[in-house]
Chains A and B, each alone.
Chain A
Amino acid sequence: MNVKSLFWFYFGFVFVGFASSLWSLLTSVLTVMPIPLPYWLLYTPGDIVTAGVVVVALLLVLYAYLGVALVLSKLLRGLVPIIMVIAFTIGLALLLAKLAIPALAALIIAYLMLIGTYSVLTSIATTRASKALWATATIILTLIPLILMAGGLALMNYVKYMALVEQAMAIMASAIEAWRLGVEQ
């Protein structure tokens, strides 16, 4: 397998996570400081959503890259992230076209494929630590919709912490992989 190509996926994953955290940390603190700021630098709900859209777009590019890299390495499971990116893009486009039901169908497929992508990442992890982290993140990702379906939005606060743990695990797993692959080079 072409190790170098996967290194860039993991590095990108960590970097996007780092950049978005840094952005939220800086803007949230700056927003409450008594200094003049341009409007786009404020930590307002509108700006948070805009930043979120940028992060989603970057991650989709990364997942597409991951899929292509795997397929080129003769690993057909690379199709899973590719399908996820396509389904998500279609879902988002349908949503913007205000077609809620087909959008929902596409996004549910995208979510299932996202769980699949995490499984793929678990399967190709090169260290025991990152494998465990990806596996746990996959399980959490699977549980979140089940919990929300069972308990409704009242459980949003618990889900919030689960998603937080899942995200932290994915970032750490990627960092371990990137470190490992970087050292091996």
Chain B
Amino acid sequence: MVVLALAIVSVVVLVANSIYAVPSPISSVRIGGFGEVDYYASQPILNAPPGLLVRVYLINGSSMKPVNAFIDVYANAPNGIVHVAMGYSSILIVPFNSTNWLYALGKWASLGIPFSGYNTSMLVFITYMHGNESWIVPLLIPYNVGWVYRALGKSTPLTATLSAATPRYIVVNAYINVNELRPSRVVPVRLNGTVTDPQVFGTYNGYTVYNCSLSGPQPPNIYTSYVFQPTSTCLGFNGSLPIAWATWSNGVIQNDQGLQLQLAIDFSGTINWDAMATGYGNIGTSYSAPENWGILSAEFTIGSDVTQPGSLYWYYGGATWAIVNYEVYEVWYVDVPIMYYVGTTTVSEVLYVPPNDVYGYAFDYGNGPISMFYNGSITLSQQYFGYPALNASTIIEYAAFEYTPYGGELWECNGPVGNASTPYGTVYTITLGGVNTAYGLSAAEIGTELGGLAFDVLVEMATEGEATPLEILLNYVGSSIFDIAGLLIPPQTSSTVTKTTLGIGGVTAGTNLYISVVNASAVYGLPTFGFILNATNFYGIPSSFTCKYGKVAQIG
């Protein structure tokens, strides 16, 4: 009889699992070495409100244990960030119906875009202190606004196009790896009420810089309830954001009259904007939406179309990008408050790009978004990130046309230069990016990196399309493993293309042109490339550079 009872219970549980009566993973995302996000579909569970659940684990050597940390959660809105919840514990639950989260969701709903058209994210900071050392780990938790609406039983026309099963629980396992992450020092500081104004707020040509900290209806009570006191500064950029650009110097105007330049873009499919943080690099996708930019090219000739130094850029309109500076203080109230500086981190994230956004190209002669990259953001990035935006790690010496006593020569330094014969002469081309590559930054997280030897084996089988042996395992293990298999199958959507091409025509033996490439994603996470054209040396006048591929063509 006992055996029969056991069997019946097993079958009931099997069925419950398969129809999402109990939590069942429907998606999983790995964020570098910093965390893992699992999304569970489920029927309501008693004492577990639908929402975001953050768990913090301390990794020290081979041990991995839950640990108390200061967990601080912000919701990204289209135009800024909203402080939603915080607490000192090894877990923090943030229900979907938190007042401030609902406030941010209302901002998204008011856009009137069907929820299936984009994914936004939550911005989570985990601060762990041990002795006088501290670690602050920032994480981006992607989610869909529609999931919240569905879990809360709200129905609007915007939820109509959601997929059948949507998550009810978003569980974040954050890892504080004290062996790999560098700590900062906890030091006593004086109470200081002054906030430094970045001096950049204002409206420029095509974009606006503003304070993007949105105060929700109920800001979490910072000063009385917590020993930890976080401060966040949000610097928002709203307007035209560059997709790609080419900048030419005064030297090019003087030396290379008649040179024809062509800047082409081809972006299509779902574009993921990954957030970047100081000292951590890629910390997850902050926003994703389907876009269709291109294939289009803009052409101009040096000396006739343009007669002064400047930039040509492709832009997407109506977008918002934010730099969030986050600081934590620890306050002890003895007789007078004693304050300690715990640490700081800075996150750059794209908050919003309208799906299938308008785009176009424009020239920037000193007051546009490209100038902001060169001038404003250098100051900003030094202030916020502690290093300039355009430095050796973000500037790539790509290729050069050199006028030498032996005639014109083309040197390839860091990548290939193509050439094509046209009725107007030879056109040299540099193409960056391609299918499914987000500009050299691999996607921070795909379900295939779920870890564990056995799992890697499964992945291998699934990715090689060998479904039959997989079935054997699946049969033994039961239906829960099918959810895993489902996670491994890439979505059946069209492939994503992110490609930028610079074409150069009218090259003669006398052409002097040094082509540098700026990888903006390495600093800001903007999937953007810029070309900088100089006549005498690469950008920044490097004292030395190597041309990996050497001389590849003799011109004239």
Which A residues are within 8 Å of any B CB, using their own CB? 10-11, 14-15, 17-18, 20-22, 24-25, 28-29, 31-39, 42-46, 48-53, 55-56, 59, 88, 91, 95-96, 98, 100, 103-104, 107-108, 110-111, 114, 141, 144-145, 148-149, 152-154, 156, 159-161, 163-164, 166-168, 171-172, 174-176, 178-179, 182
Contacts and interface: CB of A to CB of B under 8 A. Distances in A.
B470 to A, nearest CB: 9
Nearest to B27: A45
Among A32, A110, A141, the most chain B Cβ lie within 10 Å of the Cβ of: A32
A17 B482 CA distance: 16
A35 B45 CA distance: 14
B440 to A, nearest CB: 27
A111 B469 contact: yes
Contact of A166 (B18, B475, B480): B475
A32 B450 CA distance: 19
Nearest to B50: A32
Contact of A34 (B48, B173, B451, B452): B48
Contacts of B65: 38-39
A165 B472 CA distance: 15
B466 A100 contact: yes
Contacts of B477: 20, 51-52, 55-56
Contacts of A166: 475
Contacts of B455: 45-46, 49
Given A45-B450, A179-B4, A160 B460 contact: no
B45 A21 contact: no
Contacts of B458: 49
Contact of B42 (A32, A49, A52, A98): A32
Given A43-B23, A104-B469, A107-B472, A36 B169 contact: no
Given A55-B477, A95-B461, A168-B15, 18 more contacts: A20-B477, A22-B10, A29-B22, A31-B171, A34-B53, A39-B173, A44-B36, A45-B25, A45-B484, A46-B455, A88-B472, A96-B457, A148-B468, A148-B471, A156-B486, A160-B482, A168-B10, A172-B11
B504 to A, nearest CB: 45
Interface string B37-51: 010101001011000
A171 B472 contact: no
Contacts of B471: 111, 144-145, 148, 159, 163
Among B10, B16, B18, B53, the most chain A Cβ lie within 10 Å of the Cβ of: B10
Interface in B62-106: 64-66, 89-91, 93
B304 interface: no
A116 to B, nearest CB: 13
30 contacts: A15-B6, A21-B9, A21-B10, A21-B17, A22-B10, A22-B13, A28-B40, A29-B22, A31-B40, A32-B42, A43-B23, A43-B38, A44-B173, A45-B38, A45-B455, A46-B451, A49-B450, A49-B458, A49-B481, A51-B477, A52-B454, A55-B477, A144-B475, A159-B482, A160-B18, A164-B14, A167-B478, A167-B479, A172-B8, A179-B3
A78 B468 CA distance: 24
Interface secondary structure of A, over-half rule: helix
Contacts of A174: 3, 7
A18 B55 contact: no
B464 interface: yes
Nearest to B164: A157
B474 interface: yes
Which range holds the interface residue count of chain B? 35 or more
A171 B11 contact: yes
Given A39-B57, A48-B25, A160 B479 contact: yes
A167 B14 contact: yes
Given A56-B473, A111-B468, A161-B18, A49 B91 contact: no
User: Top 5 nearest A-B pairs by Cβ distance?
Assistant: A175-B7, A52-B477, A107-B469, A21-B13, A18-B6
Contacts of A39: 57, 64-66, 173
Interface string B248-283: 000000000000000000000000000000000000
A36 B7 contact: no
B334 interface: no
Given A52-B473, A167-B475, A178-B3, A32 B169 contact: yes
A36 B91 contact: yes
A124 to B, nearest CB: 17
A118 to B, nearest CB: 10
Contacts of A103: 469
A46 to B, nearest CB: 4
Among A10, A33, A182, the most chain B Cβ lie within 10 Å of the Cβ of: A33
B15 A164 contact: yes
B528 interface: no
B453 interface: yes
Contacts of A104: 466, 468-469
B488 to A, nearest CB: 9
A71 B17 CA distance: 37
A104 B447 CA distance: 23
Given A14-B6, A18-B6, A175-B6, A153 B36 contact: no
Contacts of B461: 95, 100
Among B23, B24, B171, B450, the most chain A Cβ lie within 10 Å of the Cβ of: B23
B41 to A, nearest CB: 11
Contact of B45 (A32, A96, A154): A32
Contacts of A163: 471, 474-475, 478-479, 482
Nearest to B22: A28
A41 B41 CA distance: 18
